[in-house]
């Protein structure tokens, strides 16, 4: 049973409700809407009064949907998102081409994408690219982004994502350290190890690598830990220690001698993770499709290169 259009609560009240529902916070919703907290609270109370039902349960520093509130939110959020999309599309058509927006991890942007991006700009000078380099998983539709590069296990790719390339991890160091092979535990004992703590997978942990060489318990001279992969690689290029490097990101450094691969007696842990591309729209504008096609082509080259 539907109601007459005149009895639908105002868009202002529904917009406030959706903003709070998306954030589950009146404070954050107020920031999104550029309103005061009291103004958003009044919108929620106004909607509850107009409908004659309670939409949120309020607890100490927390709010939760009532069953009726959750039911309304599922429909209102979808309708509001459609409005956001069409208003954005209409404004974009009037304003002309807009930047193509991409989000990816800091290391992907800094070590893989940026060195290659001038090639895309030469091929498509009419396309403006806007990059969001961060390690947070964001909702493409809500954030207004065109595509995202995700890092995940092969069996956990998001629906609709496209595989770009996997990863191969092995020890690397600057030539100034004078190490050509990592083939004896004595080398570990007199070396500083650089460890990436942004991922707890075994192929990023030195203790797992040493155990697979039969060197469990061998203590390095020192350990420097990093939460960002690119910082660790820059430290390795500065000769500060031995790092576990991702081949797909550091091939230029290996090619020009800024880093050397250190062979080990036995293989280390192998990765089951990959990088994939997730796009917001199944049929994006031509500018967005051009960037997608270019990234996929560059990724195929990366994936096809063999590691010595």
CA gap 103, 133 in Å, rounded:
6
Task: Kindly state the average pLDDT of the residues 144-152.
Answer: 91
Backbone angles phi, psi at 303, to 5 degrees: -70, -30
pLDDT tens digits, 237-293: 999 999 999 999 999 999 999 999 999 999 999 999 999 999 988 899 899 999 999
Nearest Cα neighbor of 149 from 306, 296, 289, 303 is: 296
Backbone angles phi, psi at 282, to 5 degrees: -60, -35
pLDDT tens digits, 201-226: 999 999 999 999 999 999 999 999 99
Least trusted range by pLDDT, from 10-19, 189-198, 297-306: 297-306
pLDDT value at position 84? 87
The yes-or-no verdict on residue 308 having pLDDT over 60 is no
CA gap 19, 51 in Å, rounded:
18
Task: Report CA-CA distances (Å) from 143 to 84, 95, 113, 138.
Answer: 11, 19, 21, 7
Nearest Cα neighbor of 211 from 222, 221, 223, 203 is: 203
Two structure tokens written together for 22: 């998306």
Task: Give all strands of the β-sheet with 169-173 in edge-to-edge order.
Answer: 222-226, 192-196, 242-246, 169-173, 260-261
Q: pLDDT class for 135, splitting at 50, 70, 90?
A: confident
CA gap 276, 188 in Å, rounded:
35
pLDDT value at position 136? 76
Task: Kindly state the average pLDDT of the residues 98-104.
Answer: 90
pLDDT value at position 61? 78
The yes-or-no verdict on residue 26 having pLDDT over 80 is yes
Give the CA diameter of the chain: 81
Two structure tokens written together for 307: 């590691």
The yes-or-no verdict on residue 49 having pLDDT over 90 is yes
Q: pLDDT class for 96, splitting at 50, 70, 90?
A: low
Q: pLDDT class for 97, splitting at 50, 70, 90?
A: low
pLDDT value at position 93? 67
Helices 11-23 & 37-51 angle (0-180, nearest 10): 110
pLDDT tens digits, 266-276: 999 999 999 99
Which pTM was predicted?
0.68
Contact 196, 226 (CB under 8 A): yes
Mean pLDDT (the chain) is 91
Task: Kindly state the average pLDDT of the residues 17-26.
Answer: 93
Strands 62-65 and 100-104: unpaired
Two structure tokens written together for 95: 């304003």
């Amino acid at each position: 049973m539907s109601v007459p259009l005149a009895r639908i609560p105002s868009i202002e009240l529904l917009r406030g409700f959706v903003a709070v529902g998306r954030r589950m916070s009146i404070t954050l919703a107020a920031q999104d809407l550029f309103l005061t907290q009291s103004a958003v609270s009044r919108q929620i109370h106004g909607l509850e009064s107009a409908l004659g039902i309670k939409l949120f349960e309020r607890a100490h520093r927390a709010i939760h949907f009532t069953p009726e509130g959750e039911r309304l939110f599922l429909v209102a959020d979808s309708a509001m998102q459609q409005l956001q999309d069409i208003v954005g599309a209409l404004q974009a058509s009037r304003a002309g081409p807009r930047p193509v927006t991409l989000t990816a991890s800091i290391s992907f942007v800094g070590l893989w994408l940026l060195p290659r991006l001038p090639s895309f700009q030469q091929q498509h000078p009419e396309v403006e690219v806007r990059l969001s380099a961060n390690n947070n998983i964001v909702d493409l539709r809500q954030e207004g982004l065109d595509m995202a590069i995700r890092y995940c296990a092969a069996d956990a790719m998001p629906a609709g994502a496209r595989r770009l390339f996997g990863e191969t991890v092995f020890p690397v160091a600057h030539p100034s350290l004078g190490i050509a092979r990592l083939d004896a535990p004595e080398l570990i004992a007199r070396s500083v190890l650089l460890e990436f703590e942004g991922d707890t997978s075994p192929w990023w942990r030195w203790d797992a690598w040493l155990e697979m060489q039969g060197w469990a318990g061998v203590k390095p001279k020192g350990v420097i830990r990093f939460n960002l992969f690119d910082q660790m690689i820059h430290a390795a290029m500065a000769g500060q220690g031995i790092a576990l490097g991702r081949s797909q990101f550091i091939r230029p450094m290996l090619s020009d001698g800024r880093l050397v691969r250190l062979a080990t007696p036995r293989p280390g842990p192998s990765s089951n993770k990959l990088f994939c591309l997730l796009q917001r729209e199944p049929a994006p504008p031509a500018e967005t499709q051009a960037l997608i096609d270019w990234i996929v082509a560059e990724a195929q080259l990366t994936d096809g290169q063999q590691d010595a």
